[in-house]
Amino acid sequence: MTIKAFMDRFDPKHIKPNEPLKYYAYTKTGGPADVLAFPHTIDELQEMIRVANQLDLPFMTLGNSSNVIVSDKGIEGIVFMLRELNRVKVQGHLLSAEAGAKLVDVSRAACEAKLTGLEFACGIPGSVGGAIYMNAGAYGGEIKDLPLEVTVVTREGNLKTYTNEELEFSYRHSLVQENGDSVVRASFTLEEGQQAAIRGKMEELNALRQSKQPLDLPSCGSVFKRPKGHYTGQLIQEAGLQGFTIGGAQVSTKHAGFIVNINDATAADYLAVIHHVQSVIKEKYNVDLETEVRIIGRPMA
């Protein structure tokens, strides 16, 4: 009844009840959200959050769902998917992008405007909001390295703006992981550069990614954080775990830091492979592998 009360308040074209998240997650796994909502504006997201609070419904926000494993039992309450908040605007040296904009598209927009600084993000398969959330990085660059300002919607439904320093960035971490704010916009101050050089760097990084990563199969990207003093993929490879498979989830034979969906994998398959890899690496090398991927939703045990 409470779920229906939420749904009755909004455009039915922006709401999907009992919607399987495997249709949206990069792993192609995950059970249903009680309600999957697609706010089309920041104002609509604010109102949805306020109504969820009034009805005492749990809620969470997802971007491009590229670095998550969603429970086979789904997610309770409301899931706000921000893919419709995808506008990108460039004015002088300032690039502003809404949270649902893909990093690939944002880096291309920067290149078209002859602005440098976002080349490292050109192949990251996430959204701007997810990149802020986890301080995404690749090939020597991280979001925290850029001068930026981030607008969020708080858990109460209010707008708030943070500076780079206030976001408390660290390795694969930011303040919004702790306070539950929903990133809705980021503004990057970039430097003018030579378009040919910017494009060349992006092409170089994309070619490197294509050659090293299993982009032809569903995955959640890099599964584990890099442990101090080690390279995760190298540890897993040296432990002989490449190709290790449970159900439809397999440690990639192309890059050991990835777990790929080779045959209708479930979230349970993914978690079983993750736990096995962690156990073996701990036993062989006394190294604790911490997951970079977010594991979300109802408990499966």
166 is catalytic: no
Q: Which of 44, 107, 172, 219 is catalytic?
A: 172
Reading the block at residue 94, the tokens are 């300032």
When pLDDT is cut at 50, 70 and 90, the band that residue 137 belongs to is confident
172 is catalytic: yes
- Cα distances (angstroms) measured from residue 75 to each of 9, 78, 171, 261: 21, 8, 27, 21
Q: What's residue 294's pLDDT?
A: 92
Q: Which domains does the chain have, with CATH numbers?
A: 1-81 (3.30.43.10), 88-210 (3.30.465.10), 214-296 (3.90.78.10)
Q: Which of 107, 174, 222, 252 is catalytic?
A: 222
Residue with tokens 């916009």: 185
pLDDT at 1 over 90: no
Q: Are 104 and 122 in contact (CB under 8 A)?
A: yes
pLDDT at 301 over 80: no
d(Cα 126, Cα 123) in Å, to the nearest integer?
9
For 255-286, the pLDDT digits (tens) are 999 999 999 999 999 999 999 999 999 999 99
- Indicate the average pLDDT of the chain: 95
44 is catalytic: no
Q: Which of 19, 98, 119, 292 is catalytic?
A: 292
SS3 annotation, the chain: CHHHHHHCCCCHHHEEEEEEHHHCCCCCCCCEEEEEECCCCHHHHHHHHHHHHHCCCCEEEECCCCCEEECCCCEEEEEEECCCCCCEEEECCEEEEECCCEHHHHHHHHHHCCEECCHHHCCCCCEHHHHHHHCCEECCEEHHHCCEEEEEECCCCCEEEEECHHHCCECCECCHHHHCCEEEEEEEECEECCHHHHHHHHHHHHHHHHHHCCCCCCEEEECECCCCCCCHHHHHHHCCCCCCEECCEEECCCCCCEEEECCCCCHHHHHHHHHHHHHHHHHHHCCCCCECCEEECCCCC
For 186-241, the pLDDT digits (tens) are 999 999 999 999 999 999 999 998 899 998 999 988 899 999 889 999 999 999 99
Q: Which amino acid appears at position 117 of this protein?
A: G
Q: In the predicted model, what is the mean pLDDT of residues 17-36?
A: 96
pLDDT at 140 over 90: no
When pLDDT is cut at 50, 70 and 90, the band that residue 141 belongs to is confident
